[in-house]
Amino acid sequence: MTKPLVVVNFKNYVSGKAALDLARNIEIYYNSAIIAVPFLDVKEIAKEVNLTVFSQHVDLQEPGRSTGFIIPESLAGVGAQGTILNHSEHKLSFSLIKRTVDRCNSVGLKTIICTSTLKDVQKILKLKPFAIAFEDPKLIGSGRSVTKEDSTVVASFAKLLEKTDVIPLCGAGISSADDVAKSIILGCKGVLVASAVAKPATPGSEEKFLKGLASLF
């Protein structure tokens, strides 16, 4: 089975030393993962681990009079290789997504764009992001995997990306290595996970998840 791309969104579950410790643990068990960490932790984590580090969001604004915004140049300057956009917890209009992708492309940042509908997938595909993550917001953090609850839709999503260079990821409720394996069977090339790793239900369950990935792939 092809080794899937695993993107771990730390959200704001952990920060500082706890975020760095988690990044190091992920590196031990699944060193091909992408980690999306809080902005204030990007620089240190990018220096301390060999994982690919993304931001969880970036703003459209340009250098100069853009007080308080996190701009693509700032992310690139502290070691980020890309960013998530349009997560269900940080939604953007399509026009804003398009302009932000253009800004990211101009400084060499990859983009993973989240969406919850097949109609939006077709629009986002035209932007040619690095990856599209298909998530059902109702299942995020639920422990009920999108690969089981919405398997037909996930398969349809993966089919839309089949002949493109855009990586299809699925997310929401992914909580075991078996869920990841199921996503591959449905046609995805990886997953976007958060609470299964960054906010484990029981102590040590994040290591179980990561060890399960390592053993399966």
Q: Which of 44, 135, 149, 206 is catalytic?
A: 135
Please say if 87 is a catalytic residue: yes
CA gap 84, 96 in Å, rounded: 14
CA gap 34, 19 in Å, rounded: 14
Q: Which of 87, 90, 162, 207 is catalytic?
A: 87
Phi first, then psi: give them for residue 61, nearest 5 degrees. -55, 160
Q: Which of the residues are catalytic?
A: 87, 135
